[in-house]
Amino acid sequence: MALQAVTFPIMTIVKNHLIVNCVFVFIALFIVGLRLFARFMSGAKLWWDDYLILFSVPQGVGMLVIQGLYAPMGVGRPITETLPNLVIILQLTLSYALIYTLCISTVKLSVLFFYLRVFPNKHMRVATKIVIAFISVWALANILMFLLLCHPFAASYNPAIPGGKCGNQVSAFIAVGVYNIISDFVVLTLPLRTIWTLNTKKQMKLSLTAIFLVGLLVSAVAVARIITLTHLELANITGTMVWVDFLSTLEVNLGIICVSLPMLGPLVSRWNKTRGASKLGNYNQSERSGQSGSKLSSRKKQPGPDTIALHSIYDHGEDTIHAATVFAPEEQSPNASETNLSPQKASSALDRPGANRIVVESRWEIKRS
């Protein structure tokens, strides 16, 4: 049984919008699936950033479902033709706005909790927690605004309610959109100062900057959405909602995709290792044995499952302790046939003059959680 009183043929532009968003929802589901696979493959446990993005996925799918429900109700047609469907359209519009606000805030919170997971820098973590609190409070305020904008509440979806009064709903939609753009900029630029203080090559800094700023694609869609909102008229909602409907669903699902792409690092690393292994297989045994010493000496410790290329960032505060022990040879007696290794401070052992020394160094890092 159809929800609407009157069913209309779906307009071509509405059908095209629906197809495009179906593709983006499928891509979002695929990317999030790869993200989870990458986490399990690396042996890392899921954390709050993963749980939040999982919570946002059904919301993005729900917005696509509402867009699909809208389609045969006369989207793109003047309100004079679709008036019998007005109540159900306004009910879906209210649900759409609430889901949009919750979903876009959940995606931002996922990014911020990702920052907490990979950045040990104390000042960065404090700033991130402040932004988390701000976005959480603002999301709650936006939801309450939509619920309290009309009195009684039924007037928000039924203009025929006697004595019903509503605030400017279009202005409320635009205000939420402007907030999203500002908060996008704050969230995406938050780690840049820390990245550019890394003790690494400029090319690596540029690469990390590009990874974190890929979310600006979502901001571009948000700007386009605000432009379309300025042309939205509740008095002719079906005739003016075509692009708003499309861009809202596109924005949230594109956000899920952009947030999850950087988490596929373990899969990329494994693919690169597989390619490297296949290339090494082309060398003969003599070349491999002849170069084994140099390969062992150039082997580097791989970052842990919860790290990206941010190992040069250290928080030298009270929550992190960095220490090192060096075993250096003692002075050898004339009659001694062996040299004993004794633990010394790193600076005294490494700075001691002399040649033909064996130095064994071990480092560790202790973090309080």
- Residue 103, domain CATH: 1.20.1070
Provide the terminal-to-terminal Cα distance of the chain, rounded to the nearest Å. 55
- Sort strands 360-367 and 320-329 into parallel, antiparallel or unpaired: antiparallel
Alpha-carbon distance 85 to 92, whole Å?
A: 11
Q: Which domain holds residue 358?
A: 316-369
Alpha-carbon distance 49 to 112, whole Å?
A: 8
Of 267, 282, 307, which residue sits at a domain end?
A: 267
User: Which amino acid makes up residue 59?
Assistant: Q
Residue 298 within any structural domain of the chain: no
What is the signed CA dihedral for 191, 197, 203, 209, rounded to 10 degrees? 10
Q: Within a 10 A sphere around the Cβ of 1, how many other Cβ atoms? A: 2
User: Mean pLDDT over residues 64-75, rounded?
Assistant: 93
How far, in Å, are 8, 111, 297, 303 from residue 360 at the CA level? 78, 40, 14, 21
What SS3 class is residue 328?
strand
Per the structure, how many domains does the chain have? 2
Q: What are phi and psi of 358, to 5 degrees?
A: -105, 120
User: Mean pLDDT over residues 165-185, rounded?
Assistant: 87
Least confident of 174-183, 249-258, 316-325: 316-325
Q: Report the predicted TM-score, pTM, of the whole model to 2 decimal places.
A: 0.73
What SS3 class is residue 190?
coil
**245-280 residue pLDDT tens:** 999 999 999 999 988 888 877 777 676 666 655 555
Q: Chain-wide mean pLDDT for the chain?
A: 78
Q: What are phi and psi of 364, to 5 degrees?
A: -150, 165
Residue 278 within any structural domain of the chain: no
**9-56 residue pLDDT tens:** 999 999 999 999 999 999 999 999 999 888 888 777 888 999 999 999
